[in-house]
Amino acid sequence: FSQKLYQNFHSYLVQWGRENLGCHDISPPWLSYYVDGCYQKLHSDVPHGPWAFVYSLTPNKKEFKGGETLILKESTLNYWQNFKRHQNNEYHSFVDVIPSMMNQLVLFDPRFPHGVTEVKGNRDPLKSRLVLHGWFVNPRPYVVGGLSVTQVQKSIENVFTELQQVLEQMDLLDGALSLRLKISTQGKIMDYKVLTNTLISLMHKSTDVLYLQKELKALFMKTQFKKTKQASQITIPLIFK
């Protein structure tokens, strides 16, 4: 790719991550092509970033078979919890199978075991499974509008102080939660939305995750921001390890 063409794509993807995930950047991406015999075994990518991405440049009219992204379903990872003796299960019951399509962005939780099915029938790189892949990284608040990042940080300090008290009453959580707040010129929250949620309880208590979401909303909704001449939109990523 020319430098300008790639830079435009890179900038667009980074901006998308800031607006939708609260991640400031992406890792240096890889360009990978899979020809006949290429595949990836199931694996996970825990330390790289809270979200993984695969952007496909694969032709929609394929001259090969395979090359799908595989992601184990949550029900598979908690198999016995969801086991039903009188229900048969087939391959697609255990994995999500995502074909590579031109101009398709796949975003997923990299803690889930994932891989790529074997490509068969083509050895031409120009007609192969072609993808750009990496991770969204550097999570931090992303602010658009009248408020500055410094003003936002000062306003939400009390949220995190009270949040610590909430977490002390719960078992360990792991994952990421991204919030979208819309703030009026009077400094009040007009809209509160969960953008992404990959939280799990390491003690398998789903009620803890629900309780945390409820408490977070209550804490943020009572937060007062500084009055400004322009409304603001804030994307806040919360990472639990």
Cα of first residue to Cα of last residue in the chain, in angstroms, is: 37
Q: What is the CA radius of gyration of the chain?
A: 21
Residue 144 pLDDT: 96
Average pLDDT in the chain: 93
In whole angstroms, what separates CA 59 from the centre of its chain? 25
pLDDT in tens, 151-183: 999 999 999 999 988 888 888 899 999 999 999
Tell me the percentage of the chain whose pLDDT exceeds 90: 80
Residue 199 pLDDT: 93
Is the predicted pLDDT of residue 86 greater than 80, yes or no? no
Quickly state the pLDDT bin for 202 (edges 50, 70, 90). confident
Residue 170 pLDDT: 84
Which residues on neighbouring strands pair with residue 196, listed in sequence order?
178
Which residues on neighbouring strands pair with residue 142, listed in sequence order?
235
Is the predicted pLDDT of residue 213 greater than 80, yes or no? yes
User: What is the average per-residue pLDDT within 224-240?
Assistant: 95
What 3 state SS string does 53-104 have?
Answer: EEEECCCCCCCCECCCEEEECHHHHCCHHHCCCCCCCCHHHHEEEECCCCCE
Residue 79 pLDDT: 85
Q: Which residue has the higher pLDDT, 202 or 112?
A: 112
pLDDT in tens, 122-158: 999 889 999 999 999 999 999 999 999 999 999 999 9
Return the closest-CA partner of residue 31 out of 136, 154, 138, 128: 128
